[in-house]
Structure 1
Amino acid sequence: MEGYLNDLSHVFIGMVLILVMMALGYFIFSKLTKFNDYAEIQKGNEAAGIYMGGKLLGLAIIVGMVSYSTDAWVDMIIWSVVGIVALCLVYIIFDFLTPALHVCEEIEKGNKSVAQLLRSIIVGVSLVIGTFLM
């Protein structure tokens, strides 16, 4: 019975840490965009939802892969933060390399094609980053 309680406590701690990392990621990601992600999503802007969902999915991939490969909570937190930073850099680099695209403006206008492209890039990069961190 003691083993089950110990396992259950580890699941609970892991869930709390994952939620904290996701909230931190959401906060940081939303600061990178030149529009209010939350307001756009509330207005029904599907492109903003796709884009934010892609960022959070990418972060979840990284956190999941890190969680799978380590038993240490501190390592999970550190590598999750590294994942957040990496995803932020991907956005900044993509925005820099495509100056004619005006990523934030396109997403704010509801351009789902740009959001889908960014989501694919973020998920792909997350899989690579997660693999490196395992």
Structure 2
Amino acid sequence: MENMLTDLWHVLIGIALILVMMAAGYLVFSKLTKFDDYAEIQKGNEAAGIYMGGKLLGLAIIVGLVSYSSDSWVEMIVWSVVGIIALCLVYVLFDFLTPKLDVCREIEKGNKAVAQLLRSILVGVSLVIGTFLM
């Protein structure tokens, strides 16, 4: 019974840390966009929802893979932060390498094709980053 309580406590700590890492990643990532993600979603902008979902899914993949392979909470936090920064850098690099495609403006206009493209890139890169950090 004591082992079960210890395991339950570790699960609760893990869930709390994962939620904190996801929230921190979301806040950092949201600062990179030139529009208010949440306001656009509230207005019914599906492209913003697709994009936000892609960011959160990408972050979850990284944090999930890192937490699976980490031996300590500190290690999980450190590698999650590294992964979140790497994912943000990929987004900035994509935005820089596609100057004719203003990603934020297109998503703000509701361009779902751009949102789908960016979501696919974020999820794909998250799998690679998460695997590297395992």
**Interval containing the TM-score (normalised by the shorter chain):** over 0.9
Shift of 1:71: 2.4
Task: Tell me what 1:88 maps to.
Answer: 88
Structure 2: gaps spanning 5 or more residues: none
Q: Per-residue deviation at 1:23? A: 0.7
Alpha-carbon shift at residue 62 of structure 1 (Å): 0.7
Question: SS of the residue aligned with 1:100?
Answer: coil
Match of 1:132 in 2: 132
Partner of residue 31, structure 1? 31
Q: CA deviation at 1:70?
A: 1.3
Q: 1:80: Cα distance to partner?
A: 0.8
One-letter identity of the residue aligned with 1:112: K
Q: Which runs of 4+ in 1 moved over 4 A?
A: none
- Give the number of aligned pairs: 134
Which amino acid is 2:75 matched to? D
TM-score (norm 1): 0.98
Structure 1 unaligned regions, length at least 5? none
Q: Deviations 1:6-32 (Å, cap 9, x if unpaired)?
A: 000000000000110111111111111
Q: Which residue of 2 aligns with 1:53?
A: 53
CA distance in 2, matches of 1:26, 1:63: 12
* Residues 43-69 of structure 1, C-alpha deviations (whole Å, 9 max, x = no match): 111111111111111111011111111
Q: Partner residue of 1:121?
A: 121
Match of 2:14 in 1: 14
Quick one: which amino acid aligns to residue 100 of structure 1? K
Measure the CA separation in 1 of the matches of 2:76 and 2:105: 34
Paired-residue identity, %: 82
